[in-house]
């Protein structure tokens, strides 16, 4: 089953939020999902332990050496495995990426985030070279103004296109619903209207992101089948 990892060397880019949106979105659509929380902050582990119905299984990475076993065990029982990584060059990241079908690198639309995201790209590319295979990755813009693209966002997207850096067309917008998930320990789809404004728009945005991820996974599977 597909393994999707989230990685970023910079904090505050919405990595755990994006992972939670994907996990809960896939679960909402009827898929079985296992999340492996490999981030030292344990944001997703805390969320799953505080909510009454996470909708997916959440595991904590016991040690760097155990991550391959955890991923393979989860992949044998779930339709999707989502791994929240620390994002720095360490043993856990190296081993997780060796079993990953898609690495998602979140960033905000700022030059600082773009420069830091390039470090994550290098880690993924270097791991692929070591394994002698291409490890697919996609950049994900987060906390984007839903009304209008900023000059920085347009410029960074242009630079990514020019450099051949693959990027999701869908960006996660700056919506109250995404923040409320952690305030109230509920998924985007179980939040009430009294807990966040604009939930319908946040859910539409999240669904578009989930669908784009699934489409990319299917595209990769088709390529693998054609070359097999």
> What pLDDT, on the 0 to 100 scale, is given for residue 93?
77
- What is the chain written as a DSSP string? --EEEE--SSTTSSHHHHHHHHHHHHHHTT--EEEEE-STT-HHHHHHHHSS--SSEEEE---GGGHHHHHHHHHHH-SEEEEE---SSSHHHHHHHTT-SEEEEEEESSHHHHHHHHHHHHHHHHHHHHHTS---EEEEEESB-SS---HHHHHHHHHHHHHT--B-S---B--HHHHHHHHHT--TTT--TTT-S-HHHHHHHHHHHHHHHHHHHHHHHHHHHHH-
| Strands 80-84 and 33-37, bridge-based pairing | parallel
The residues spanned by each domain of the chain are 3-227
* pLDDT tens-digit readout, 132-183: 889 999 999 999 999 888 899 999 999 999 999 999 999 999 999 999 999 9
Distance, in Å, from the CA atom of 181 to the CA atom of 196, rounded to the nearest integer, reads 9
pTM metric for this prediction: 0.93
* pLDDT tens-digit readout, 184-222: 999 999 999 999 999 999 999 999 999 999 999 998 877
Q: Please give the CATH architecture assigned to the domain spanning 3-227.
A: 3-Layer(aba) Sandwich (3.40)
């Amino acid at each position: 089953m597909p393994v999707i990892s989230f990685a970023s060397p910079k904090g505050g880019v919405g990595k755990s939020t994006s992972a939670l949106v994907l996990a809960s979105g896939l679960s909402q659509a009827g898929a079985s999902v296992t999340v492996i929380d490999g981030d030292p902050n344990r944001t997703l582990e805390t969320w799953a332990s505080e909510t009454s119905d996470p909708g997916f299984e959440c595991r904590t990475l016991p040690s760097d050496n155990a991550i391959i076993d955890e991923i393979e065990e989860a992949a044998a029982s779930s339709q999707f495995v989502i791994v929240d990584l620390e994002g720095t060059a360490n043993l856990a990241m190296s081993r997780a990426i060796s079993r990953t079908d898609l690495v998602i690198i979140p960033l905000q639309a700022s030059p600082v985030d773009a420069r830091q995201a390039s470090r994550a790209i290098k880690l993924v590319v270097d791991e692929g070279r070591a394994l002698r295979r291409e490890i697919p990755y996609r950049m994900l813009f987060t906390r984007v103004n839903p009304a209008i693209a900023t000059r920085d966002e347009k410029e960074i997207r242009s630079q990514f296109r020019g450099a051949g850096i693959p990027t999701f067309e869908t960006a996660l917008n700056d919506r109250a619903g995404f923040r409320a998930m952690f305030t109230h320990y509920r998924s985007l789809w179980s939040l009430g209207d009294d807990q966040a404004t604009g939930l319908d728009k946040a859910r539409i945005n999240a669904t578009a992101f989930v669908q784009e991820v699934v489409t990319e996974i299917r595209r990769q599977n088709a390529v693998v089948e054609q070359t097999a």
